[in-house]
Structure 1
């Protein structure tokens, strides 16, 4: 190696990228392949992405058979903003080295930047399958799953995150959000505590964002005193010295203050702060979050027109998020809810199978979202005989497992052998065991509202199970759904308009009643308004239905929920306050919005025993 090349290599190994660039430039036409490679890497390391792309393009043209050069060109092109060139280069690298995890990882990052979330998820999960210890790939795969609403694979990707090395601050913020959504508060806080901050003003901006995130994490876990303590690090005066374009920081700090203002009942203050955050929001995620929060504050103030206007902005933002994940759901005739029926003739052909008795089976809490399922779940979990696992889609995942092995759901339920049914139940309880490793002899409570659409699977595996159907005035349910920031792209689309949501609600109940007629399950209807009116009587009925001698511990659910801290659903704050009538007939404040959908809802409203008045 010429002396200059040796000096260049020494400079690169010492991290002196400016000297690498100077020496490589001095080499001129004498620069060989190795010098060009180090030059490109140094240019990229110092943020000269366009120059790096030019260097790597020359290398790739000289040696088109070397996948690493195409890979490097793809990375430099992506970082310079030339996404088309990046995709072309990375695709070439993949053809040359189809099993190279680094190439696939960079392709996954490109898909994230392009907001092609399903491709990003598929590609990055492939990377982790090939390189399970590739932490950066696990984090990015988890993020793609998070955006796609794939909670199961998100959790799988974040397994062991407590032991991960420190992450750059931007990554740490994303990681903490995902961990918080899983109820892993301490791991989320650790990720923030270890966040690597850049030097200078950028580091100070990220420090403020991290402090705001801590406030929101503690509030989300019902640790209000600690949230208030953390908020002291974020005086409004700290925002005055920020650059004018520090929009994200200001929005994050205002949202942190607003969240605690809501908890304190200072709804006007919260509304003002959320309006300021919404005005500065420059991405769909922030727009949606601030919009839903503003709607909640306005609703508490009785400002229904303002609340509805904020909801419109929030839903428009969520539609844009869903568009990047599942654009086909935006078709007017799409069906966001997955429904599958078994008719009487097919059920009659079901092979008799051995199944667990009622006490060996889960207690299923079902109903349309926002019907009081979380309230009931916390009541059951407060009883020493029961354990709930928060909201999990394990029954739905069993339907997917059937499809993955070539069995059609629900048609092939009729042909399941005893061994196959046992395998499905075993898979279900393995998933449960990862969430509740100490379930022991407790009776399992499986609360997932949309398990009401999975009745065929429940009845095939647990035909003796007790099922509790939560009911609430349909208009109150739809209003509450409209006001929630659901993470599922399907529910983002379903709730994007009241007409679409009402249609989905009616279809869900029509399917439920069809399947109830076929299977005749053991069902208790649990009516939210009646429970609010006479809790003790309904707890006694519930105890009788579940063969519980003493149901009184269930009445202490509010204290139990406070001690539990993390509750994954949007009701995490409400269930700590006990039973109150404030959510009954709330929809009447928005009656003008409901008038167009009442003709569609009226038959079901009357069937459920409610009134349109």
Structure 2
């Protein structure tokens, strides 16, 4: 004969599977204080599913008291505590679950979600990557791991987590918005749009605001990829007047739509209208990333109107928000004497110890485009990419990743470059070209353009693997460079910190160039200096010089770079819009509008300004 508790548990399971959580809870009441393990488990799950998180935590706490050796019950308790807002209790429960089942991907996933809620991003990244390692098909874990990597600035791991993401099943709308943004940042517009198309709405009153948010993101994706006609058509389906019909609490939907209208207003030159819309959106921002993103956009709108004081105020607020992000990712960089730009160099004696190794000639080596960010590197990259002999791969940190590969096998960079064997050097080059091949599978016989500004800090690695490579150093007035960096929403936490104050940024800029010139003296690389202001003044002459440096028979295709850039699917840097517009002088001496802010750092910059041939 069946035991009554078995019948009760079966009835509860049937109700739970049918989605009737109220019936599950009502049935559980019949068991009273003598409810068995199965009844308590179903009760806790139903309470959690119906939003009664405190009660669910109480129920799961009863379970762990009865069966403290069962990791799943501690996991359930941790989830309920996290959802109820008791993060300390959640961490204690999930830590216990992890100790009992260290290889349980579900536990690691929930621990990662907890760390995200705590804004402990490096711990979240670690736990979620561990979850994916143990369960590679765990899509929710892959998505959240990618997001943690995104916040931490770990682009390589983020891309690995999102492999195949466009073919994942449709995601809940909130997650689809995050996933589409990450795919777009990787240059996969088609995947980003497909993710939005397949987003799952929750049903009920929340659907309409989410539809508006998805539509607004579609506008921004097209704009970010320079598809302005598609962006405008999508925007026409989001009339501002219709926002009044949205529920009063649909704050995020309103902000997203205002941002979409503002972005297109900026592209059409209606900067005052854009500034008004950005201010409305900023007033509704609730998280640091949104405040920063809108703040930088508002600063740009004010700057283009010549309202420099307003622009500076907006950009300082944006940096304050970014510093809060960085504080939870790399808190050690916030120390006053920290150096966000990590660099390593060699002296003449260390270079003299290098063993001779064979290496590719200049035609089989990449052309490296370096310089401090915002010095015109993207402009030059697009010029080179417009030439049929070259292929660029957008901005990649592959050379830097080779230094990390050395560390992974116990080699010190740059000291142990001297002792590399031919086989080890060949393996590093092969690893580099494998990474290139994932981005440019059809590179073929084209010459590779590796544009990464801060490769200027990796000259020892470049010279060890590609000693015959041609290197182009992009130069621009230091004050214009620093102003442009200050105005940009960089994703790297280290660069967030570096650009957070003009004093810190100026110090980093000077240190980068001092190291560059010391390393140039040591290695004697083949370098062409490419000066932004001179290029603007006489493009044809400088293209001829560039062609001669690269041994090109005909440099003229590079003059059509703006048309070429408009046809590209994606340009990852903040210059994605400017490079489609051709050469213009508007960015020269832009810093003069902010001279009062620059006066305190001019003594630090003046020696380098003089060395580079500029004036103040």
Deviation, structure 1 residue 609: 0.7
For residues 327 and 243 of structure 1, the distance between their equivalents in structure 2, rounded to whole angstroms, comes to 39
Q: CA deviation at 1:243?
A: 3.3
1:369-380 to 2 correspondences below 5 Å:
369-380=373-384
Matches within 5 A, 1:27-176: 27-176=31-180
TM-score (norm 1): 0.99
Does the 8 A contact of 1:354 with 1:418 survive in 2?
yes
The alignment status of 1:193 with 2:197, answered yes or no, reads: yes
Deviations 1:541-600 (A, max 9, x none): 101101111010000000100000310000000000001111011111111111111000
Q: Measure, in 2, the Cα distance between the counterparts of 1:219 and 1:163.
A: 24
- Whether 2:540 is the aligned partner of 1:515: answer no
Task: Report how far residue 286 of structure 1 moved.
Answer: 1.1
Corresponding residue of 1:578: 582
Cα offset, 1:365, TM superposition? 0.2
Q: Deviations over 1:402-427 (max 9, x none)?
A: 01111001010011000000000000
**Runs (5+) with no aligned partner, structure 2:** none
| Worse-matched range after superposition: 27-36 or 485-494 | 27-36
Pairing 1:159-558 to 2, within 5 Å after superposition: 159-558=163-562
CA distance in 2, matches of 1:250, 1:12: 37
Displacement of 1:538 in angstroms is 0.5
Q: 2: CA distance between counterparts of 1:462 and 1:480?
A: 31
SS state at 1:581 partner: coil
Equivalent residue for 2:18, pick from 11, 14, 21:
14
CA-CA distance at 1:245 after TM superposition: 3.4
Rounded to whole Å, the distance in 1 between the matches of 2:283 and 2:108 is 38
In the aligned structure 2, how far is the partner of 1:72 from the partner of 1:30?
Answer: 20
Mapped contact 1:399–1:409 kept (Cα < 8 A): yes
**Matched residues in 1 for 2:613 and 2:444: separation?**
39
Aligned residues: 612
Say which SS state the counterpart of residue 196 (structure 1) adopts: coil
Task: Determine the C-alpha separation between the residues in 1 that align with 2:309 and 2:11.
Answer: 70
TM norm structure 2: 0.98
Do the aligned partners of 1:467 and 1:521 also contact (CA within 8 Å) in 2? yes
**2:9 aligned to 5, 8, 16, which one?**
5
Q: What is the RMSD computed on CA atoms of the aligned residues? A: 0.8
Write the deviation string for residues 69-108 of structure 1: whole angstroms up to 9, x where unpaired. 0000001111111110000000000111111111111001
- C-alpha distance in structure 1 between counterparts of 2:202 and 2:112, whole Å: 25
Q: Does the 8 A contact of 1:74 with 1:89 survive in 2?
A: yes
Q: Which segment drifts farther, 468-477 or 26-35?
A: 26-35
CA displacement at 1:14 relative to structure 2 = 2.4
- Displacement of 1:247 in angstroms is 2.3
Query: SS at 1:463's partner residue?
Result: coil
CA distance in 1, matches of 2:338, 2:594: 27
Q: CA deviation at 1:229?
A: 0.6
C-alpha distance in 2, partners of 1:519/1:590? 38
- Distance of 1:25 and 1:312 partners within structure 2: 57
